[in-house]
């Protein structure tokens, strides 16, 4: 299935018998679907159909829809005189003339300039709805295509970061046993020195026997080795990365699932960093967290 971004834009216009109809759609990321319509009052009847068309194709994002209509320049056939208003003017003029006989009568030019005296031909509702539905279908296709193109670019970016993280995990996994062993050897040497086993004292002056001291060192080093062993974290990281690839391959509406995977990846990277006892692991944890953060920012834009 296609992966779509929540960011998109499309605009289209259509010439109708009465004028130019324009529909513009743009969106940004949002946790939920938020539709905002900007429609002229005389076109408000189109909103339900437009809303249904959008909700059938989009599940997340803050979407703004602008619908405007520009009438054609008026001609003789599309204009008429408002008869009711003209009769009212004639009645009022006659009433005033009875009280002010010398008052000048309204001229034709003044009557034509009177607000509302000239009526535009009414827009054919059914025809406009058909034109709007046809234009909406086209603009919506372009809008979905724009979201899909950006989604494809985001998909490529996320896969590249997953590959980079896989390489880090593969590179440091074989080092874990070696690093733990080296660290244990150093710890043994330091503890032997601290307990006086490096330069044994006479038996009478030793607090612990050599056997007791060696057993304590073994216990302490074993416990510390368990605490700094990150093989389990690396195994979970590899599993999470595999699942993230699977989610991206499956496609569809995956933004929320990927957001959860970013939390899990970040948790393992933090644990890896807290357990890191050598520079190699600290550097790897830092690199992983940087890649995860880059992914997390982009995942916020996916539907």
User: What are the tens digits of pLDDT across the range 167-181?
Assistant: 999 988 877 766 666
The model's pTM is 0.66
* pLDDT of 148: 93
Query: Residue 9: pLDDT above 70?
Result: yes
Residue 111 sits in the same domain as residue 131: no
* pLDDT of 193: 66
Residue 219 in domain: yes
Residue 215 in domain: yes
Neighbouring C-alpha atoms within 13 Å toward the C-beta of 234: 21
* pLDDT of 126: 62
| Cα–Cα distance, 174 to 262 (Å, whole number) | 25
Residue 141 in domain: yes
Residue 270 sits in the same domain as residue 203: yes
* pLDDT of 258: 93
Task: Say which residues have a Cβ less than 8 Å from residue 255's Cβ, sequence separation at least 6.
Answer: 6, 60, 299, 300, 301, 302, 303
Our measurement of the distance from residue 20's CA atom to the centroid of its chain's CA atoms, rounded to an integer in Å, reads 33
Range 105-128 average pLDDT: 71
Integer Rg of the chain from CA: 38
Share of the chain above pLDDT 90, in %: 34
Which tokens in the block code for residue 125?
């509702």
Q: What domain count does the chain have?
A: 3
CATH of residue 17: 3.30.230
Residue 292 sits in the same domain as residue 215: yes
Angle 180-181-186 (CA atoms, 0-180°, nearest 5)? 100
Angle 66-70-76 (CA atoms, 0-180°, nearest 5)? 160
Which of 98, 116, 134 corresponds to the end of one domain?
116
- Cβ(50)–Cβ(243) below 8 Å: no
Torsion of the alpha carbons at 165, 170, 171 and 177, rounded to the nearest 10: 130
β-partners of residue 63 are 27, 35
Residue 200: DSSP 8-state: P
Residue 205 sits in the same domain as residue 108: no
Q: Are strands 61-71 and 118-120 parallel, antiparallel or unpaired?
A: unpaired
Q: Are strands 33-39 and 61-71 parallel, antiparallel or unpaired?
A: parallel
Q: pLDDT band at 85, cuts 50/70/90?
A: confident
Residue 47 sits in the same domain as residue 162: no
- Cβ(276)–Cβ(285) below 8 Å: yes
- Cβ(302)–Cβ(6) below 8 Å: yes
Which tokens in the block code for residue 231?
């093989």
Residue 139 sits in the same domain as residue 157: no
Question: 253: domain range?
Answer: 151-299
Residue 200 sits in the same domain as residue 285: yes
Residue 295 in domain: yes
Least confident of 8-17, 189-198, 270-279: 189-198
Query: Residue 284: pLDDT above 50?
Result: yes
Residue 2 in domain: no
Residue 128 sits in the same domain as residue 105: no
End-to-end alpha-carbon separation of the chain, Å?
Answer: 12
* pLDDT of 222: 58
Residue 36 in domain: yes
Least confident of 60-69, 196-205, 265-274: 196-205
Range 56-63 average pLDDT: 90
Residue 242 sits in the same domain as residue 102: no
| Cα–Cα distance, 174 to 240 (Å, whole number) | 19
Residue 29 sits in the same domain as residue 91: no
Which tokens in the block code for residue 119?
């009526």
* pLDDT of 69: 83
Residue 15 sits in the same domain as residue 141: yes
Residue 1 in domain: no
| Cα–Cα distance, 294 to 271 (Å, whole number) | 19
pLDDT digits (tens, 9 = 90+) for 230-267: 778 888 999 999 999 999 998 888 888 999 999 999 99
Residue 181 sits in the same domain as residue 267: yes
Residue 3 in domain: no
* pLDDT of 143: 95
Range 290-298 average pLDDT: 94
Average pLDDT of the chain to the nearest whole number: 81
| Cα–Cα distance, 174 to 176 (Å, whole number) | 6
Q: pLDDT band at 141, cuts 50/70/90?
A: very high
pLDDT digits (tens, 9 = 90+) for 186-203: 666 666 666 565 555 555
* pLDDT of 113: 79
């Amino acid at each position: 299935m296609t992966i779509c971004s929540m960011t998109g834009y499309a605009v289209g216009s259509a010439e109708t018998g009465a004028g130019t109809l324009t529909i513009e759609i743009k969106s940004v990321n949002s946790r939920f679907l938020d539709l905002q319509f900007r429609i002229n009052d005389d076109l408000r009847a189109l909103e339900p159909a437009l809303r249904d068309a959008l909700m059938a194709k989009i599940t997340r994002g803050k979407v703004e829809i602008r619908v405007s209509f520009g009438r054609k320049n008026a001609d003789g056939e599309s204009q008429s005189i408002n008869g009711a208003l003209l009769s009212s003017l004639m009645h009022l003029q006659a009433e005033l003339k009875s009280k002010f006989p010398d008052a000048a009568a309204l001229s034709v030019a003044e009557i034509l300039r009177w607000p509302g005296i000239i009526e535009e031909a009414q827009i054919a509702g059914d025809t406009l709805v058909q034109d709007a539905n046809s234009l909406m279908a086209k603009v919506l296709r372009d809008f979905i295509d724009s979201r899909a193109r950006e989604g494809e670019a985001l998909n490529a970016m996320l896969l590249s970061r997953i590959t980079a993280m896989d390489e880090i995990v593969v590179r440091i996994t074989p080092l874990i046993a070696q690093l733990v062993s080296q660290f244990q050897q150093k710890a043994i040497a330091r503890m032997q020195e601290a307990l006086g086993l490096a330069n044994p004292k006479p038996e009478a002056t030793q607090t612990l026997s050599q056997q007791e001291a060696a057993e304590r060192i073994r216990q302490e080093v074993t416990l510390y080795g368990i605490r700094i062993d990150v093989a389990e974290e690396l195994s979970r990281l590899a599993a999470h990365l595999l699942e993230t690839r699977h989610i991206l391959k499956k496609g569809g509406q995956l933004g929320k699932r990927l957001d959860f995977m970013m939390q899990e990846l970040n948790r393992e990277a933090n644990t890896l960093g807290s357990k890191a006892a050598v520079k190699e692991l600290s550097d790897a944890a830092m690199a992983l967290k940087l890649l995860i953060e880059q992914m997390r920012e982009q995942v916020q834009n996916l539907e």
